[in-house]
Amino acid sequence: MSNSIETIALHAGYNPGNGEPRQVPIWQSTTWKYSTSEDMGKLFDLEAAGYFYTRLQNPTNDFVASKLCAMEGGAAAMLTSSGQAANFFAVFNICEAGDHFIACANIYGGTYNLFGVTFKKMGIECTFVDQKLPIEELQKYIKPNTKCIFGETVTNPTVDVLDIEKFAKLAHDNGIPLIMDNTFATPVNCRPIEFGCDIVTHSTTKYIDGHASSVGGAIIDSGNFDWMAHKEKFPGLCTPDDSYHGITYAEKFGKAAYITKATAQLMRDFGCIQSPQNAYYIQLGLESLSVRMARHCENAQKVAEFLANDDRIAWVKYPGLESDSEYELAKKYCPKGTCGVLCFGVKGGREASIKFMDSLEFATIATHVADCKTLLLHPASHTHRQLSDEQLEEAGISPDLIRFSVGLEDPDDIINDLKQALDKIS
């Protein structure tokens, strides 16, 4: 198989045999039939591989997961019902009550709340850190019970680029894995595993779907983290599981241990399965992802340059601008471009920003991002309204910040829409 992401996106995962459907079929079935009680029993013991109930595994989902796995350069992968479920499973698969983990403060609002509020209720403590700190400073946050580090490749909404190698070193120096949410960059623009990341997550709801059709998520494991070398930290993977007849995942499943455990335990107990129908839509999205990402980046670059040169704009943040704080990191980790999302503030602060947003014609206000249509949102009054001003500041979000997700329309039309809205406030 080619190593090119364009070709992998079209051909990995599903290889139909003679006379079989070219496109992945939707296996719209909850259950599978077996001839003998023993055949079925082996599946429940994880002794044989096979399908029996869609909450645990479904062939459509598996084909799509293996395509995404190939695109990320991973060893095993699973789909989840949403990006929230993916990040929940990714951390909860290795953390339990009494454990601690580190997350970059600058992450998606929903993830921030999951980690800071909901995990706390489950007895898991998260420390949020400033991702720009030098490694020696970050090291001070590591405790004996710290089990993983979490960050976003390109952060939502502030489009900061994570220094993956710095965080991979920090994690590995301390015998713990680095988990990265690669939703914004997608495997087309960055493959975090190539820079030392251990586990990648996605909200496939965003660019991967790309057409605002299906909420979904995914977890891809590189298979590179040596759990048995840090046995005492990861008893869930390295000691027998009583709920599966004493199986030790890290011994029995090798590079697939982490995903097998997440499927066998978390999917079994929490049931955040992706519907096969949605997995099918994700598969369609993956096929065109590389073409769409290139166009999103091209359009966003033009929009960013327009905004940077308009004196009614207070500031603009896009890693593709040479003056941007993220320019160098983006060149290293996302040489093809980061994504279509950018942020800016309109002069006149919060009030002017709101008036400007309400004046746009086709760029729509929506609680969504990374879509084929141009969308925008004001985090302080929408996605992040649960956060205090102090937490907003910690997450790098100013009250006037507008998150602008550049779509696939003609870039001149997008710029003209921005121009006419700016004319209304000046």
Q: How far is the CB of 330 from ligand PLP (least distance, A)?
A: 16
Q: How far is the CB of 220 from ligand PLP (least distance, A)?
A: 14
Q: How far apart are CA 350 and CA 346, in angstroms?
A: 8
Q: How far apart are CA 378 and CA 392, in angstroms?
A: 12
Q: How far apart are CA 89 and CA 80, in angstroms?
A: 9
Q: How far is the CB of 282 from ligand PLP (least distance, A)?
A: 11
Q: How far is the CB of 229 from ligand PLP (least distance, A)?
A: 30
Q: How far is the CB of 79 from ligand PLP (least distance, A)?
A: 11
User: Which pair of structure tokens corresponds to residue 356?
Assistant: 């400007």
**Measured from the CB atom, is 89 or 195 closer to ligand PLP?**
89
Q: How far apart are CA 401 and CA 159, in angstroms?
A: 12
Q: How far is the CB of 66 from ligand PLP (least distance, A)?
A: 20
**Measured from the CB atom, is 158 or 301 closer to ligand PLP?**
158
**Residue in 277, 283, 269 with CA at minimum distance from that of residue 58:** 277
Q: How far apart are CA 286 and CA 111, in angstroms?
A: 24
Q: What is the DSSP string of 213-265?
A: ----EEEEE-S-S-GGGGTTT-HHHHS-BGGGTTB-HHHHSGGGHHHHHIIII
User: Which pair of structure tokens corresponds to residue 73?
Assistant: 């350069």
**Measured from the CB atom, is 236 or 396 closer to ligand PLP?**
396
**Measured from the CB atom, is 111 or 299 closer to ligand PLP?**
111
**Measured from the CB atom, is 200 or 321 closer to ligand PLP?**
200
**Measured from the CB atom, is 54 or 84 closer to ligand PLP?**
84
Q: How far is the CB of 130 from ligand PLP (least distance, A)?
A: 18
Q: How far apart are CA 423 and CA 361, in angstroms?
A: 13
Buried b (16+ CB within 10 A) or exposed e, 15-40: eeeeeeeeebebbeeeebeeeeeeee
Q: How far apart are CA 206 and CA 108, in angstroms?
A: 13
3-state secondary structure 370-388: CCCCCEEECCCCCCCCCCC
**Measured from the CB atom, is 87 or 374 closer to ligand PLP?**
87
Task: Report CA 28 to chain centroid distance, whole Å.
Answer: 26
> Which residue's Cβ lies closest to ligand PLP?
83
Please give the backbone phi and psi of residue 28, each rounded to the nearest 5 degrees, phi first.
Answer: -85, 70
Q: How far apart are CA 92 and CA 300, in angstroms?
A: 35
Q: How far is the CB of 143 from ligand PLP (least distance, A)?
A: 25
**Measured from the CB atom, is 43 or 107 closer to ligand PLP?**
107
- Dihedral angle computed from the Cα positions of residues 13, 407, 182 and 88, in that order, rounded to the nearest 10 degrees: -90
Q: Determine the 3-state secondary structure of 314 from DSSP.
A: strand
Q: How far is the CB of 109 from ligand PLP (least distance, A)?
A: 9
CA angle 293, 334, 377 (to 5 degrees): 55
Where do contacts with ligand PLP occur on this chain (CB under 6 A)?
82-84, 87, 108, 110-111, 152, 156, 181, 183, 203, 205-206, 215, 217
CA angle 48, 272, 21 (to 5 degrees): 60
Q: How far is the CB of 367 from ligand PLP (least distance, A)?
A: 9
Q: How far is the CB of 408 from ligand PLP (least distance, A)?
A: 18
